[in-house]
Structure formats: C-alpha cells, structure tokens
Amino acid sequence: MQKSPEAKPALLAAKNFSEEAAGAAVADWHNFVLVELNGIGTLLRFDAEDGGKRAAQISRRARAIVDTLGWDPGTSCAQAWAFAESELDEPEDAWAPHLVLSALGNDPERVRTWLGGLPPDARAFIDRTKLT
C-alpha cells in the first residue's frame, strides 16, 4: 500500500524512524489491519451462511478494530482511502475500507461516489455483510 499524501506518520513511528520509514511503517500497519478486517468480513459471511450464531462475537472483533483506528481517524481514513483506491484483489476487499470510512470518515459523499464505482459483486458483499 502506498503512503497517502494526507497521512502523517504516527508520533511513535516518527520518533524512532526517518520520516520515510515511519510513513512506510504506518502504511504497512494500516494495510495489515484492513486485510484483517476483510478477513472478519469473510467470517461474517460464512457465519451468516451457517445461521449467524457467532455474528455478535465476530462483529465485536470488527468494532474493536475500528474503535482502535478511531484513535487517529485522520490517518486511518487516509490509509483506508489509499487501500480502497488501490487495485482490490477480490470484491470482498472493499468491505474493510467501507467499514472504516463509514465509521470514521467525514466525507459521506466521497464514500457514496466510491461505492457507486465498485463492481456489483463488491457492493453486494458490503450490503449483505453487516455488523450486528
């Protein structure tokens, strides 16, 4: 994932690394978290196919991650946009940035425009994979 021009390296990373390395570390960490969130979205989908018995537990995990990203919403949203606007490998890869940007973002029109440009299968995954 490339560093977004709006993203500023987190203070801890900036204290311990050069600006370039700190920016790369922040981008790498957010990429990891967004990939993990997408995995949770997939768990929700499989759980729904199995009756949704664990939906509340799985949703709590996703909310905890988004809450943690909320400690620095500006950087988290910038990184979510960088992830969302990169070439997504699978339609399901749009779920995590949508979750983060919907919860922490301040530009719902940009999110709507982005959603409108997604392939139908990506939008369908987002629509049917909701947190409880």
Name 63's Cβ contacts closer than 8 Å, sequence gap at least 6.
Answer: 131
Tell whether the torsion through CA atoms of 24, 26, 31 and 36 is positive or negative.
Answer: positive
| 84 contacts 97 by C-beta, under 8 angstroms | yes
| DSSP sequence for the chain | -PPPTT----HHHHHHS-HHHHHHHHHHHHHHHHHHHHHHHHHHHHHHHTTSTTHHHHHHHHHHHHHHHTTSHHHHHHHHHHHHTS--SSGGGGHHHHHHHHHH-S-HHHHHHHHHHS-HHHHHHHHH----
pLDDT of residue 18: 79
Q: How far apart are CA 84 and CA 79, in angstroms?
A: 8
For the chain, 132 residues long, give each residue's pLDDT as a single digit of tens: 444 445 555 566 667 777 888 788 889 999 999 999 999 999 999 999 999 999 999 999 999 999 999 999 999 999 999 999 998 899 999 999 999 999 999 999 999 999 999 999 999 999 999 998
Q: Rounded to two decimals, what is the model's pTM?
A: 0.85
